[in-house]
């Protein structure tokens, strides 16, 4: 596990081997793949509404682990806000994530501190966990994701609203865990016909 990411280490896209791809990356759940037209598409920014304390991140972790196991993801950058969220490595490993291919960064100034991570084609996926960013930042990130053919996931700690929101996200959806049904509920708002999908993550 890389616990510190230094953007000054990135000087060229040739620093690491990356696989440029345009086909969707399967999520690992047939129902979600069908709803999204095959999975997550490299080159696109997606926005996820994950209400705090309701288990939505579990689905994100298992989705990324599935992509790693299928060799569809190389290096992953996970960006956390300063002093708000922490990572417990054994829990991530238990969900199947290869921590050797994950860099973690903590910052409240994403574009100021980590801009090279977006401009250079190094990471196959960048996860922005409850970031403090502007619409201009999102526009820039969406453009770089398109240029570099990577996934950019923006995680919000609240439910997204369908009538307004991030215009730069090709895919917008809400996700939470239903304790009563013992399954994840996914509500697609944009990027596919609006629908609700039920997922049993322990069947992944």
What tens digit of pLDDT does each residue of 41-92 get? 999 999 999 999 999 999 999 999 999 999 889 999 999 987 666 778 888 8
94 lies in a domain? yes
4 lies in a domain? no
Query: Rounded CA gap, 156 and 119, in Å?
Result: 23
* Three-class SS state of 9: helix
Long-range own/partner contacts, residues 191-196 (CB < 8 A, 24 or more apart): 191/36, 191/46, 192/35, 192/36, 192/37, 193/35, 194/162, 195/35
What's the number of domains the chain is made of? 1
Judged against a pLDDT cut of 50, whether residue 8 lies above it is answered with no
What tens digit of pLDDT does each residue of 142-193 get? 999 999 999 999 999 999 998 677 899 999 999 999 999 999 999 999 988 8
List of residues 6+ apart from 173 with CB closer than 8 A: 46, 47, 48, 49, 160, 186, 187, 188, 189, 190, 191
For residue 196, the enclosing domain spans 21-203
CATH of the domain at 190: 3.40.50.300
Q: What is the pLDDT of residue 83?
A: 67
Q: Do residues 50 and 175 make contact, with C-beta atoms less than 8 angstroms apart?
A: yes
Q: Where are the alpha helices (DSSP H) in the chain?
A: 30-35, 56-69, 89-94, 110-119, 135-148
10 lies in a domain? no
Judged against a pLDDT cut of 70, whether residue 12 lies above it is answered with no
Judged against a pLDDT cut of 60, whether residue 100 lies above it is answered with yes
14 lies in a domain? no
Of the candidates 180, 204, 201, the one whose C-alpha atom is nearest the C-alpha of residue 56 is: 201
Helix axes 110-119, 135-148, angle to 10 degrees: 20
42 lies in a domain? yes
7 lies in a domain? no
What tens digit of pLDDT does each residue of 188-201 get? 999 888 899 999 86
Taking residues 136-144, report their average pLDDT. 96
């Amino acid at each position: 596990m890389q616990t510190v990411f230094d953007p000054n280490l990135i000087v060229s896209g040739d620093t690491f081997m990356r696989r440029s791809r345009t086909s969707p990356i399967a999520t690992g759940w047939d129902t979600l793949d069908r709803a999204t037209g095959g999975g997550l598409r490299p080159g696109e920014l997606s926005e996820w509404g994950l209400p705090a304390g309701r288990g939505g991140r579990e689905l994100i972790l298992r989705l990324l682990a599935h992509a790693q196991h299928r060799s569809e993801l190389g290096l992953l950058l996970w960006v956390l806000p300063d002093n708000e969220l922490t990572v417990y490595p054994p829990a991530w490993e238990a969900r199947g994530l290869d921590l050797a291919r994950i860099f973690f960064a903590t910052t409240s100034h994403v574009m100021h501190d980590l801009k090279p991570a977006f401009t250079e084609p190094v990471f196959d996926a960048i996860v922005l966990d409850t970031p403090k960013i502007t619409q201009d930042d999102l526009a820039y990130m969406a453009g770089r994701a398109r240029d570099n053919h990577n996934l950019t996931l923006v995680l919000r700690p609240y439910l997204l609203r369908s009538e307004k929101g991030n215009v730069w996200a090709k895919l917008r959806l809400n996700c939470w865990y239903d304790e009563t049904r013992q399954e994840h509920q996914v509500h697609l708002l944009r990027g596919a016909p609006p629908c609700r999908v039920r997922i049993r993550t322990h069947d992944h």
